[in-house]
Amino acid sequence: MKTLTVALPGREYNILIERGLLKGAGAYIRTACPRAKRVFVVTDDNVAPLYLEQVETGLRGAGLDTAAAVLPAGEETKSGAMLLTLWEQMMEFGLTRTDAVAALGGGVVGDLAGFAAATILRGVDFVQIPTTLLAQVDSSVGGKVAVDLDHGKNLAGAFWQPRLVLMDPDALDTLPLPVFMAGMAEVLKYGCIWDAGFFGFLAARPARNELMADIEYILHTCCDIKRQVVMEDERDTGLRMILNFGHTVGHAYEKAGRYVEWNHGEAVAAGMCAAAKLGVSLGVTPPDVPKKIENAVAALGLPTFIPCSRGDLTAAVGLDKKSAGDHISLILLDKMGHAVPVKMEKDAVLRSLEAVCGGDAP
């Protein structure tokens, strides 16, 4: 087993990575949440048939009462209406302040269940059991939880650190290839912003079977990077902003596709390509970097460009959580393996993005 500790004072927790870990989830949760008598599991209708029975059996075997909410899969589920439904179901189950909520699934389930855990009874223990690659390397670690609003993604949320993160790489075997590769966009991001050697390692292994052969190393490396960043900047006011490389434009791409045509990973992949070009145009990024990123993204079967209207770009820049007043901190690369925030006026950012992204495309 590989173990990482997110050492936030008073909110420490472990990330456990091991094949077959789901079988022992109940015992690990019992240890991490010693006061709990009940665990409310949140999952979706893709994941439930695969893993819910196994997890609930383990919880009951560890002496914990359990109930589950099986939600429709998809981004539309991450809504205020569904949050209200979860609150009511948790109360019907008899959840108390010493009990726990567990998220079994991908990023949508983790974000929604985490926000519910952060707010029900003013906060109960929370456990992440991510089953997608994107959730394992990104959204399950760091404590960001949220729901979407009509104006955009993740605009209502909180910082609520989990008590434990359980990662079973075997769960990735059941992912459809496009979903697995979408998660690789976030994996590739870590190489871009932090570790050029890791980027090279990934670029040399674009096939799924090659990546899965080294998946424990990949998960450990990504989570270790995010762990270090979160421990230095839990509340996303400084260093943690670099984790959003490719996301400002990526959110515009998601909006352009009405959150259906392009999933988060695909949008971030194209967003990183755009951010690299933007960095070159601003004199920040070396000119050889965009092609390296494009080649790596294309080899994974992910898009390197997505048409996007000026309106979608304007909305993404205006609602970006890295913005302050009339300015926004763009995350750019000053070399492969190192990211920097570049503060710019929003109007200047829009002009630059239009030139790079084809802002007037339909």
Domain CATH code at residue 109: 3.40.50.1970
Q: Are residues 114 and 42 in the same domain?
A: yes
Do 200 and 168 belong together in one domain?
no
Query: pTM for this one?
Result: 0.94
Q: How many domains does the chain have?
A: 2
Structural domain containing residue 220? 177-357
Is 276 part of any domain?
yes
Answer whether residue 213 is part of any domain: yes
Residues 206 and 300 in one domain: yes
Domain C-terminal end among 142, 174, 206: 174
Domain boundary among 133, 152, 174: 174
Angle between helices 264-281 and 289-299 in degrees, nearest 10: 160
pLDDT at 251: 86
Residue 274 within a domain: yes
- What distance in Å separates the CA atoms of residue 14 and residue 16, rounded to the nearest whole number? 6
Looking at the fold, whether 147 and 254 belong to one and the same domain comes out as no
111 and 31 co-located in one domain: yes
> Could you tell me if 183 and 155 lie in one domain?
no
pLDDT at 185: 98
In whole angstroms, give the CA distance from residue 137 to residue 274.
22
Collect the ranges in the chain with pLDDT lower than 50: 359-362
End-of-domain residue from the set 174, 200, 217: 174
Residue 362 within any structural domain of the chain: no
Angle at CA 43, nearest 5°, toward 144 and 162?
A: 35
Same domain? 329 vs 216: yes
- Quick count: other Cβ atoms within 10 Å of Cβ 321? 19
Which CATH number does the domain housing residue 210 bear? Answer: 1.20.1090.10
Which pLDDT does position 85 carry in this prediction? 98
Tell me, yes or no, whether 52 and 154 share the same domain. Answer: yes
Residue 16 has a pLDDT of 98
In this structure, is residue 314 part of a structural domain? yes
In sign, the C-alpha dihedral spanning 143, 155, 311, 306 is positive
Q: Residue 83 falls within a domain, yes or no? A: yes
- Whether 105 is in a domain gets the answer yes
Whether residue 169 sits in one domain with residue 109? yes
Round to whole Å and give the CA distance between 188 and 168. 20
Residues 104 and 203 both lie in one domain: no
> How many CB atoms are closer than 10 A to CB 301?
16
Please check whether residues 124 and 205 belong to one and the same domain: no
Same domain, 140 and 193: no
